[in-house]
Amino acid sequence: MEQLNKSILTKAIVQDAALQKGLFALETIRQRDSQSSTHRSMGSFSLAPALLFQIIVLPIVFCILLLGLKPYIFAGWQQCILFFARQLSIPLLALNEQPDLSHLGFTWNGVITATAGDLNAWWVSFFMTLLALIGSFWLDKHRIPLKYLLRIICVLQIFSMAFFFFFPDRFPYTIDSHSLNLINMGYVVILGIPFMLSLGYYVLEVSLLRKIISTIYVLIYFLVLVPFQVMFHMLLLQYCSLLIMPVLYVCLGMLFDVLIFVALYSQLASKIGQQAMK
């Protein structure tokens, strides 16, 4: 009995010593952290005058250049879209050789293969949406983002089909107006790119030349993207149906452009060293 008590007492002493050692280690870590500097996400920073000058002036300069080049940008987009429209047999014509600053001067010179009131297109869209919605429930937990994205698209398409079912002749948009909206939204995004970069990229300690080159890189990407985005919408609307126009507008319109910008910004920021992030 006495030997058992000694064994229990020995274990208690060992456990108490381990506990005291752990508490001492925690106290040491606490004191060290209290003396360390604040994490950069919780701290503030001051901008040097030269950096502040870049943040303010660079976006304004790029915006002025883009506004001055707008006629040439629209003319280039017009020629690009017309060229690929001819190659893809899309009935698109230009009203004039030099586009107006508010639009590209397109006119639709044909009929839409599947119109808004086409019941065949409506039923095809209905069954495809139903299959996609049912299929979203079969996706496992590792594909949750894809699952909810698919459901959002299905809900948008359901609202579109409901509108075309009850009001087939009241849809206010045509392929011409839809394309015009895409062009205008794309140009607005391009104008906003320098200002968006000024908030998250120009504040970093990188060279002025690198900031200018990075901005030009992003702008060129979108200048090339916009006409092909318009052509992709036209192609789907010509050979599919106007039923998918709301989904295209929401999912592959300005939201898509913003996501592309975020991806490009992430690419630029990932190439900057840790020193520039401090």
Domain extents in the chain: 58-116+171-277
Give burial (CB, 10 Å; 0-12/13-18/19+) of 173. middle
> Taking Cα atoms as reference points, which of 269, 244, 278, 226 lies closest to residue 66?
226
Contact 178, 232 (CB under 8 A): no
Paired tokens of 226: 């916009």
Amino acid at 113: T
- DSSP string spanning the chain? -HHHHHHHHHHHHHHHHHHHHHHHHHHHHHHHHHHSPPPTTTS-----HHHHHHHHHHHHHHHHHHHHTHHHHHHHHHHHHHHHHHHTT--EEES-SS--TT---EEE-S--SS-TT-HHHHHHHHHHHHHHHHHHTTS-GGGHHHHHHHHHHHHHHHHHHHHHHH-TT-----HHHHHHHHHHHHHHHHHHHHHHHHHHTTTSS--HHHHHHHHHHHHHHHHHHHHHHHHHHHHHHHHS-GGGHHHHHHHSSHHHHHHHHHHHHHHHHHTS-HHHH-
The whole-number average pLDDT for the span 117-131 is 84
CB 81 within 8 A of CB 106: yes
Token pair of 2 as six digits: 């006495």
Per-residue confidence (pLDDT) for residue 97, from 0 to 100? 59
pLDDT of residue 177: 84
What pLDDT is attached to residue 275? 47
CA 126 to chain centre: 28
Give the per-residue pLDDT at 114.
46
The distance in angstroms from the start CA to the end CA of the chain is 65
Neighbours of 211 (CB within 10 A): 20
- What amino acid occupies position 204? L
Strand partners, 93: 107
Measuring CA to CA, which residue among 129, 134, 185, 120 is closest to residue 157?
129
| Residue 103 clears pLDDT 70, i.e. is over it | no
- Of 1-5, 129-133, 153-157, the poorest mean pLDDT is in 1-5
- pTM of structure: 0.75
Can you tell me the mean pLDDT for 100-121? Answer: 60
pLDDT computed for residue 122 by the predictor: 85
Phi/psi at 173 (nearest 5 deg)? -110, 150
For residues 169-184, average pLDDT:
86
